[in-house]
A and B are shown apart, each in its own frame.
Chain A
Amino acid sequence: MKMWIKLGFRNLWKNRRRSLFTIAAISFGFAAVNLLGGFTHYVFRGLEDSYVYAYGNGHMSIFKQGYLKEGALDPTSYLLDASTLRTIIKRCDEDARIVVATPQLNINGLVSNGNSSSIMIAEGRVPEDAQLIRSHGHGFIGKLKMFRGAELSSGDEGGVGMTTGLGEKLGLGLDSNAIVMAATVDGFMNALDANVVQVLDAPMDILDDMLMAVPLSFAQDLYETQSADRINVLLSDPDDKDRVMAELARDLQQAGLSVEIHPWDELRPSYLRIKNMFDVIFSFVFAIVLIIVFLSIVNTVGMAVLERTREIGTLRSLGCKRHDVIAMFATEAGLLALFGSILGAMVTFACWAYVTWSQPTWTPPNIPKEVPLEIHLVPWLFVASLCCLMILASTAALVPARRAARMNIIDALGHT
């Protein structure tokens, strides 16, 4: 093996121009895969963080059993009552892995400027908890504000937020007064005065002319209830998600509660769709890179076999076995992949450094704001692409190397 590495290295050096072309092709492929992978990682991270942190939904949400399926038709029958909320929050507070568990009540009804009204849906959250969740976001997400104006506050129950579109529709802006109307859980009409303290960026276009953000107590007062429809749970380490979920489910069931717990990615169907799309794009690029590397290795090793036919004959006459001939060329190809990957890692790193330094911005599909565009360095992807490329290169070398190994010795020696 040492011998094949030595021979491979020297032969690559001897034909350094050709080797360099192959190495460049491999490094290009390596960089393409790792840059796209790094960008994909950033996009997924952004999707996760914007939903979990920026919009304040946490890593998982706890609902009354059946809320997601039947709750749409009859939401008020699927609320978590005050004592249930207390039990759940108490259980969560005892768990050191949970940063916060906070109730949320979504309401719908009408909002009016005094003359005309429009339908609205509102997310009622504990404002301080929502801010706490937001502040746990990584990097720019932690600083991202999805609104203009002031923070909502428990102390100012009537201070609400509304989306730009809804505000324009009703001629309402910051500091305007509005009336919010809805049916209580018992079916009576109720109305509360509100003051617009913030203008929101809607997470989706279709919500832009109907979404509002209100303090939880406002939502509960309007509905005349102490209940909430969910509890959002934020973890300090997202990797604990599955374990915490299983343990919560077990404990809450033992406590006699009939609840269902869903992780954030199940509650955000667009995440899985976007993830699938990126997975397809990534697989496509990866396949193209593998094909390019395969072909260039077959070509390079094929030329080496042709040029070194006499050398192969000599080695065989000295007692080199067929599989040794194959090992020799496979090692050489493996070295090409190794150098290509090292160069590719350097190219990836350089691009990463450039992007990090120049801080370009863009508006991603999931956040209605200009945010920094990043490329993440994904160590496991570096290692995986190195291994993939080395295995692929050695395999590609088998095609010409087997031909070399099977050659008749005297024919090989007679070759000039």
Chain B
Amino acid sequence: MMMSDKQPPLVWFRDVTRSYGKGDVEVAALKNVDLAIASGEFVSVWGPSGSGKSTLCNLIGGIDLPTSGAVQINGEELAKLPDAQQSSHRNRSVGFIFQNFNLIGVLTALENVLLPLTLRGAETSRARQEALTLLDELGLAAEANRLPDKLSGGQQQRVAIARALMTKPPLVVADEPTANLDSENAEKIVTLMRHFNRSVGTTFVFSTHDDRLLDKVDRRIHLRDGQITDDVTVAPFSNSSEAP
């Protein structure tokens, strides 16, 4: 999963613009953005509301395509692939965590975690075991067979993290994963992501408008009006491990 310096970055944006609407009402949510994120990084994207954080996350996560410019994720330029291949790329290369959790309401925590594997027909008994281990690691062992509406927000978001990690993707994108949580749960979520970043080497990109969470990251990308105004690497990402 780790890449050498010679390999292309895991996330690579070249002159990316994403605008919404047409003609007079056209709004550029991202303007001519260049960006590279290497494998193993733990990155936050922050900025005020409307600055383009979600747009950036959507492009990185492969659920949206740029209006112009090129986005390469894990060596693939999604815009050039047919829809079915874009889907399998999302299934294999990216884990997505949403602000409002987006668990499937009629599936239990365990079934939600297994869902990305189920979708590709790879739900094995070994996978079930792994999912249970993962839930245990996230402190949800007792909740495995509960439906999402029986779980607290913090628990739901931890299930969502397990779901994103289940396929062992090189990259996990989280768009304001803590915005719907209280500060205690918010911190817990970031700590957990950090834990998996260090223990498994998964690259995390998460957006936030809460600057209290920023001291947990290696790199902060600051967005303003659809442009990167600041991109600071705080510390090398080979820090000592932190417990969840």
Same complex for A and B? Answer yes
The chain A residues found within 8 Å of chain B, CB to CB, are 3, 7, 10-11, 14, 310-311, 313-324, 409-410, 413
Asked whether A321 lies within 8 Å of B118 as measured between CB atoms, the reply is no
Looking at chain B's contact residues, the main secondary structure is helix
| Contact digits for B83-113, partner A, Cβ 8 Å, 1 yes 0 no | 1100111111000101000101111000000
Ordered by A's residue number, 8 sampled pairs between the chains whose C-beta atoms are within 8 Å are A3-B123, A14-B105, A311-B104, A315-B104, A321-B83, A410-B58, A410-B63, A413-B98
- Check if B61 is an interface residue, CB within 8 A of chain A: yes
B104 to chain A: closest residue by CB:
A311
Asked whether A320 lies within 8 Å of B119 as measured between CB atoms, the reply is yes
CB of B199, distance to nearest CB on chain A (Å) = 23
CB of B174, distance to nearest CB on chain A (Å) = 12
B121 to chain A: closest residue by CB:
A3
Asked whether B118 lies within 8 Å of A3 as measured between CB atoms, the reply is yes
A409 to chain B: closest residue by CB:
B63
Most chain-B CB neighbours within 10 Å: which of A3, A310, A317, A321?
A317
Q: Within 8 Å CB of B98, what residues of A?
A: 314, 413
- Check if B6 is an interface residue, CB within 8 A of chain A: no
Looking at chain A's contact residues, the main secondary structure is helix
A414 to chain B: closest residue by CB:
B54
Asked whether A318 lies within 8 Å of B119 as measured between CB atoms, the reply is yes
CB of A187, distance to nearest CB on chain B (Å) = 89
**Residues of chain B in range 108-138 having any CB-CB distance to chain A below 8 Å:** 115-116, 118-120, 123
A8 to chain B: closest residue by CB:
B106
A10 CA to B108 CA, complexed, in Å: 11
Q: Within 8 Å CB of A310, what residues of B?
A: 102
Asked whether A315 lies within 8 Å of B83 as measured between CB atoms, the reply is no
Q: Which of B83, B88, B102, B116 contacts A322 (CB 8 A)?
A: B83
A310 CA to B118 CA, complexed, in Å: 19
Q: Within 8 Å CB of B230, what residues of A?
A: none
Asked whether B84 lies within 8 Å of A322 as measured between CB atoms, the reply is yes
CB of B140, distance to nearest CB on chain A (Å) = 19
Asked whether A11 lies within 8 Å of B92 as measured between CB atoms, the reply is no
The 10 closest A-B pairs by CB, nearest first: A319-B91, A10-B106, A314-B102, A409-B63, A319-B90, A321-B87, A317-B63, A318-B116, A319-B87, A317-B96
What band does the interface of chain B fall in when counting residues whose beta carbon is under 8 Å from A?
A: 20 to 34
Asked whether A413 lies within 8 Å of B63 as measured between CB atoms, the reply is yes
Q: Within 8 Å CB of B119, what residues of A?
A: 3, 315, 318-320, 324
Asked whether A11 lies within 8 Å of B63 as measured between CB atoms, the reply is no
Asked whether B106 lies within 8 Å of A318 as measured between CB atoms, the reply is no
A317 CA to B103 CA, complexed, in Å: 12
A322 CA to B63 CA, complexed, in Å: 13
Q: Within 8 Å CB of B102, what residues of A?
A: 310-311, 313-314, 413
Asked whether A320 lies within 8 Å of B87 as measured between CB atoms, the reply is yes
- Check if B64 is an interface residue, CB within 8 A of chain A: yes
Asked whether A7 lies within 8 Å of B106 as measured between CB atoms, the reply is yes
Q: Within 8 Å CB of A320, what residues of B?
A: 87, 119
Q: Within 8 Å CB of B107, what residues of A?
A: 7, 10
A317 CA to B105 CA, complexed, in Å: 16
A405 to chain B: closest residue by CB:
B83
A155 CA to B107 CA, complexed, in Å: 83
Q: Within 8 Å CB of B58, what residues of A?
A: 410
Q: Within 8 Å CB of B115, what residues of A?
A: 315, 318
B111 to chain A: closest residue by CB:
A6
Q: Within 8 Å CB of A321, what residues of B?
A: 83-84, 87-88
Q: Within 8 Å CB of B83, what residues of A?
A: 321-322
Q: Within 8 Å CB of A7, what residues of B?
A: 104, 106-107
Q: Within 8 Å CB of A316, what residues of B?
A: 63, 87, 90
Most chain-B CB neighbours within 10 Å: which of A311, A320, A324?
A320
Q: Which of B84, B104, B120 contacts A314 (CB 8 A)?
A: B104
A316 CA to B58 CA, complexed, in Å: 13
Q: Within 8 Å CB of B91, what residues of A?
A: 318-319
A311 CA to B88 CA, complexed, in Å: 18
CB of B230, distance to nearest CB on chain A (Å) = 26
Q: Which of A14, A318, A322, A324 contacts B90 (CB 8 A)?
A: A318
B106 to chain A: closest residue by CB:
A10
Asked whether B87 lies within 8 Å of A311 as measured between CB atoms, the reply is no
Q: Within 8 Å CB of B104, what residues of A?
A: 7, 311, 314-315
A94 CA to B118 CA, complexed, in Å: 67
CB of A78, distance to nearest CB on chain B (Å) = 74
Q: Within 8 Å CB of A11, what residues of B?
A: 106
